[in-house]
Structure 1
Amino acid sequence: MEQNQQFLIELAKMKMPFGKYKGTFLIDLPEHYVVWYHNKGFPKGKLGQQLGLVYELKLNGLEDIVREIRRKF
């Protein structure tokens, strides 16, 4: 459980490290961009895992959960 909480906190604070949306919080990336990455294939490693979760959260309309975490931490 604690590991999942830490992952969500890190996701809430993580910004895109490169490209057109460099510096944008992952959860605030445009949906079309996250869907494009989903179709193309997410990067390997932690960033890919985080983008995969962002995709699932956006798909289910739950991105405000991560924004609320960001406000608290």
Structure 2
Amino acid sequence: MKPEDLLLLVTRTMPFGKYKDRLIADLPGHYLNWFAREGFPNGEIGRLLALMQEIDHNGLKPLLDPLRQRPPRQ
């Protein structure tokens, strides 16, 4: 994991499927767990989904809250 990945979780949206256009950080746990069972897609999206599943599974979602409220860089 790269530190920038945490910021991507709260800015990148799901590009396909039932939850298309929803932030990866806002995907429901059961959907992330389904990917964990069935296999994550290749590439960046799969890496981010796996990271989000691990965060969600361990009850660490509140750690992303400060990143959501972060003002844009100038």
TM-score by length of 2: 0.85
Question: Would you say the 8 A contact 1:27–1:67 is kept in 2?
Answer: no
Question: How many residues were matched structurally?
Answer: 71
For the Cα contact (< 8 Å) 1:11–1:26, is it kept in 2?
Answer: yes
* Runs (5+) with no aligned partner, structure 2: none
RMSD: 1.5
The structure that is helix-richer by fraction is: 1
Q: Which runs of 5+ in 1 are unaligned?
A: none
Instruction: Say which structure, 1 or 2, has more relative contact order (CA 8 Å, 6+ apart).
Output: 1
Aligned partner (choices 5, 8, 32) of residue 34 of structure 1: 32
Give the secondary-structure state (helix, strand or coil) at the position aligned to 1:72.
Answer: coil
Q: Identity rate of aligned residues, in percent?
A: 38
CA shift at 1:49, angstroms?
Answer: 0.5
Structure 2 residue aligned with 1:19: 17
Stretches of 4+ aligned residues off by more than 3 angstroms? none
1:64 matched to which residue of 2?
A: 62
- Between the aligned partners of 2:16 and 2:65, the Cα distance in structure 1 is 21
Secondary structure of residue in 1 paired with 2:14: coil
- CA deviation vs aligned residue, 1:33-73 (integer Å, no higher than 9, x gap): 10001101000011000000001000111112123212215
Residue pair 1:35, 1:55 contacting (<8 A) in 2 also: yes
